[in-house]
Amino acid sequence: MNKNTAATTDPTYSIGGDILVPRLGYGAMRLTGRPDERRGLTATIWTAPTDREDMIALLRRAVELGFRLFDTADAYALGANEELVAEALRPFAGEVTIATKVGVIRPSATEWAPLGHPGYLRQQAELGLRRLGTERIDLLQLHRIDPAYPLADQIGALKQLQEEGKVRHIGLSEVTVEQIREASAIAEIRTVQNLYNLGDRSHDPVIDFAAEQDIAFLPYWPIAMGEHAGPDSPVAAVAKELGATPAQTALAWLLHRSPTMIPIPGTSSPAHLAENWEALGLPLSPEQFARIDGATADPGTPAS
């Protein structure tokens, strides 16, 4: 069993010690294009949603359910995703936290590339402030580290924004333990957003390190389960015992995996949105957690 596992979970976490949120956020990346374009790895995340009013209603429904942390990025639909999130959540200013990201460019609908020029990062943050309609971004995350520029320069650009009062907290995305250590020597790192789910546990060492350092870990694509949630799997068996769905059980496993874990599942379905929210209160016994954990652990993942 992973060392940070607890039999019970605190339903809230304080990012940076001053942003208290439920330990389940909402990832807005998929709220783009046509409804039939949003699913799977082929989604381009390129244009504003054709059903904009429905997506605004969905985001507001998320707030009604209890979601308080919403994640977006300047690269999602070339800023249109930030604008959508801002419009939807404007009535809840002061009640919700919007996290965004800079550091990835979109030359075309099929291209994603890191760009860490310090001036570019600062420019994109300024554009983010305008699109979000705020004077300060509560959580600004470096979308990807660009190997073409020193990490000190990239984090330094975000720290400069923080010192100017334009950014409250700084986070990273898709990083290793060593990169977190290096960045932390330059500025306080409050969040890490990496790919992590039952089917891909390659960032186990990062999760354990984040917990030790009281850094929030925001796994994206948290419900991708594959064969690990098949009808004969431990996930399915535990879900049946709990009277829950496999997706809810997968989220519950994440919440029990680490005390600083804040999954950010995204969906454009109101039914799935409510289903995801209910996972926040789903209890797992130590034995149930261990069954899922042992069945899905990657034996090749190095110990932290």
Annotated catalytic residues are 76
- Residue among 16, 44, 13 at smallest CA distance from 30: 44
- The DSSP letter of residue 12 is E
**Contact residues for 162 (Cβ-Cβ < 8 A; gap 6+):** 168, 169, 170, 187
92, 96, 102, 107 alpha-carbon torsion, rounded to 10°? -50
Candidates 85, 80, 76, 68; CA nearest to 25 is 68
DSSP annotation of 220 reads: B
C-alpha angle 108-193-52 in degrees, rounded to nearest 5 = 50
Exposed/middle/buried for 303, CB within 10 Å: 0-12, 13-18, 19+? Answer: exposed
